[in-house]
Amino acid sequence: MAEFFTTWWAWLALAVVLAILELFAPGFIFVGFAIGAAITGVLLALGISFGGSLAWLALFFAVVSVVAWVVCYKTFGGKGRQVQTFDEDINEG
């Protein structure tokens, strides 16, 4: 099973699945994980082996995913989530 997680195409397939799940989720839930999986897959395709350890690979994926999620949330999701309140009625003169 460890060989499966060290193949580049598996990470890119995971990125596609997570990106599709993001379309059905309300908010930025899976986008960070999709970006993390895509970056991990690209680096594996370029030949970076992360020391041959699944633990380092998982740690890299986790760190990149959290950073990508925070950046996406701050850039796109943080605005407009405040509740609007109205103090006066438009129909009052």
Distance CA 82, CA 88 (A): 18
Answer whether 0.75 is exceeded by the pTM: yes
What pLDDT tens digit does each residue of the chain (93 aa) get?
677 778 899 999 999 999 999 999 877 789 999 999 999 999 999 988 877 788 899 999 999 999 999 998 888 876 555 666 777 777 775
